[in-house]
């Protein structure tokens, strides 16, 4: 009878430990997910980039990308390319 009590007590302790670990793990995972979300959200916000020609800062979606470089207008893209060729 004493052994049965010991075993039930042990099982109870393991169950408590398991529940505690599970709770702390899910809390940790939530924390990480929240952190990742916070980290990710600035990427969704409009990025401001500098024109490679005139260095003016404008929103990314209003400019043009050419060969990995950013320009505020096609005019500056052309001028930059002309400048590069000389």
77 sits near Zn ion (criterion: CB under 5 A): no
Distances in Å between the Cα of 28 and the Cα atoms of 3, 15, 84 are: 37, 20, 52
Q: Residues binding Zn ion: what is the number (CB under 5 A)? A: 5
The smaller minimum CB distance to Zn ion, of residues 49 and 72, is found at 72
Residue 45 CB, shortest distance to Zn ion, in Å, is 22
Residue 36 CB, shortest distance to Zn ion, in Å, is 35
Q: Which of 54, 66, 79, 81 binds Zn ion (CB under 5 A)?
A: 54
Residue burial 51-67, b: 16+ Cβ < 10 Å; e: rest: bbbeeeebeeeebeeee
Under 8 Å between Cβ of 66 and 79 = no
53 sits near Zn ion (criterion: CB under 5 A): yes
Interface residues with Zn ion (CB under 5 A)?
Answer: 51, 53-54, 72, 76
């Amino acid at each position: 009878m004493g052994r049965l009590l010991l075993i039930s007590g042990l099982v109870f302790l393991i169950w408590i430990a398991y529940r505690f670990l599970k709770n702390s793990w899910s809390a940790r995972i939530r924390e990480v997910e929240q952190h990742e979300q916070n980290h990710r959200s600035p990427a969704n916000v409009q990025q401001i980039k500098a024109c490679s020609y005139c260095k003016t800062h404008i929103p990314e979606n209003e400019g043009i990308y050419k060969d990995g470089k950013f320009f505020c207008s096609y005019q500056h893209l052309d001028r930059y390319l002309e400048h590069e060729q000389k």
